[in-house]
């Protein structure tokens, strides 16, 4: 190993707004065929799998917010894809992702019920 070798890079994304409230994580199987779901995607859980919130024809309960980008592929016939979600904490409203045509505001009350709290964060550039 070289003494001054770069082995990684960190770019803050402002998803987590505060550590004042405990941040808990839990694994989930995401339904295959949803493409790449980005870190910060709001996940709802149906009977058998997790889906991006706002996905048409999916009824489910809020499960959490994805901790990392996850590629679920293009083939919906495949097995569930393992992923990890934040289940509690304070999050940047603008960084939480839902399906096109949906809004985070639609889910805010349900998120509060499971201790996922949204905050407005001023963007600095």
* Residue 58 maps to a domain: yes
Show the tokens assigned to 94. 């603008």
Q: Residue 30, Cβ neighbours under 10 Å: how many?
A: 24
Residues 72 and 57: beta-carbon distance below 8 Å = no
CATH of the domain at 103: 2.40.300.10
Q: Is residue 91 part of a domain?
A: yes
pLDDT confidence of residue 54: 95
Residue 86 falls inside a structural domain: yes
Q: Which helix (H) or strand (E) holds 110?
A: helix 108-113
In a domain, 28, yes or no: yes
3-state secondary structure of 30: strand
| Residues of the domain holding 30 | 16-118
CB atoms within 10 A of CB 113: 10
4's CB contacts (< 8 A; 6+ apart) are none
Please, what are the averages of pLDDT over each run of 10 residues along the chain (125 residues)? 76 87 96 97 95 90 97 93 98 96 96 97 75
2 assigned to some structural domain: no
Give the per-residue pLDDT at 125: 64
Please count the other Cβ atoms lying within 10 Å of the Cβ belonging to residue 4.
Answer: 4
Output the pLDDT for position 1.
57
pLDDT value, residue 8: 78
- Look at the chain and report how many structural domains it folds into: 1
Structural contact between residues 50 and 28, judged by C-beta atoms closer than 8 angstroms: yes
Whether the CB-CB separation of 30 and 70 falls below 8 Å is answered with yes
- Domain for residue 4, yes or no? no
Is residue 113 domain-resident? yes
The answer to whether residue 111 sits within a structural domain is yes
Q: Burial, 124: exposed, middle or buried (Cβ in 10 Å; 0-12, 13-18, 19+)?
A: exposed
């Amino acid at each position: 190993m070289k003494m001054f070798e770069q082995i990684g890079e960190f770019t803050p994304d402002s998803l987590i707004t505060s550590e004042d409230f405990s941040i808990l994580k839990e694994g989930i199987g995401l339904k295959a065929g949803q493409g790449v779901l980005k870190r910060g995607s709001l996940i709802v859980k149906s009977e058998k799998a997790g889906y991006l919130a706002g996905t048409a024809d999916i009824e489910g309960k809020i499960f959490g917010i994805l901790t990392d980008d996850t590629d679920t592929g293009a083939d919906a016939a495949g097995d569930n894809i393992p992923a990890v979600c934040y289940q509690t904490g304070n999050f940047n409203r603008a960084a939480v992702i839902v399906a096109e045509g949906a809004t985070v505001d639609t889910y805010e009350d349900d998120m509060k019920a499971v201790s996922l709290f949204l905050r407005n964060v001023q963007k600095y550039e």
